[in-house]
Amino acid sequence: MENSVPVVRVESVDLVRDGRFLLRDVTLQVRRGEHWVLLGANGAGKSTLLSLLGATAHPTAGTVHVLGHRLGRVDMRELRAHIGHVNPRHMVRAPLTVRDVVLTGLTNTPEFPPRWAPTDAQVMRAEELVHALGMGSRLNLLWPTLSQGERGRALIARALMAEPELLLLDEPATGLDLAAREQLLTSLDDLRAQDPDRASILVTHHLEEIPTTTTHAVLVREGVIVAQGPVSDVLTTANISDCFDHSITISNEHGRWVAQTRVPVTVG
């Protein structure tokens, strides 16, 4: 894809379900090499917007272009093969090793399809990704034995198997303790440095889960985008307080964001 063509272009999009607007008049553009964070309270419409960007839903009105293709005029299944989607709720029921789970990123299925087997080169690629995410010693462990943090990093490796141009991360730090979260964020920063052309969009409602390499931010409230642009312009005390309808003070230390409730100062 040429640098001039946006990876994602959303124009005047509404999404209505059962007579209710889940998204209203959403316009957004993401270019190659940009790393966006999508922030909002629970139920704000973050995951709904991500479903459009991941080619798993259609808009009710407006247009959505992903990787140069307009939704509604493209084979959605084929398009999804070029999008890496990290979902920490991914279910693995078969007794698969970490290596096997990562390899299923090639088939976009929970387990290997019948009569399908990876090539030697694909197995090597899977192992390289697992090592790159600090999981080399876990290659042959079965999925149920992994910690939540280990599963999260393995799922990122899985999403990268097809070498996607766009990586979507749906609250990847869900359920992680402090150490596991920091390992995950470090891994994301390292991966972004290794492939500067890939674009990514990370969904969260915790500012502490934003990687230092994030370039842009979009704030969503009740299905409406209330702010978007370069991350340092968007993540302000005023914008975050408005987005979450709560008085919150924002600070940034060494590239990491912190949110804290503003305590009224009493005089007397």
Q: Is there a contact between 111 and 104 (Cβ–Cβ < 8 Å)?
A: yes
Domain boundary among 139, 163, 187: 163
Q: How many CA atoms lie within 13 A of 55 on its CB side?
A: 26
pLDDT single digits (tens) 85-98: 998 888 888 889 99
CB environment 35-51: b (16+ within 10 A), e (fewer)? bbbbbbbeebbbbbbbb
Model confidence at 266, pLDDT cuts 50, 70, 90, reads low
Structure tokens at 65: 């272009």
Domain boundary among 163, 178, 212: 163
Model confidence at 265, pLDDT cuts 50, 70, 90, reads low
As a whole number of angstroms, the longest Cα–Cα distance in the chain is 77
Do 137 and 36 fall into the same domain? no
Do 75 and 155 fall into the same domain? no
Mean pLDDT of the chain: 91
Do 156 and 107 fall into the same domain? yes
Its domain, for residue 107, covers 88-163
Domain boundary among 163, 178, 205: 163
Alpha-carbon span 103 to 95, nearest angstrom:
14
Do 171 and 46 fall into the same domain? yes
Q: Which residue has the higher pLDDT, 148 or 23?
A: 23
Alpha-carbon span 187 to 213, nearest angstrom:
11
pLDDT single digits (tens) 199-254: 999 999 899 999 999 999 999 999 999 999 999 999 999 999 999 999 989 999 88
Do 97 and 151 fall into the same domain? yes
pLDDT single digits (tens) 109-121: 888 889 999 999 9
Do 95 and 193 fall into the same domain? no
Count of the separate structural domains present in the chain = 2
Q: What angle do CA 191, 48, 239 make, to 5 degrees?
A: 75
Backbone φ and ψ of 122, nearest 5°: -70, -40
Highest mean pLDDT among 63-67, 72-76, 145-149: 63-67
Do 123 and 50 fall into the same domain? no
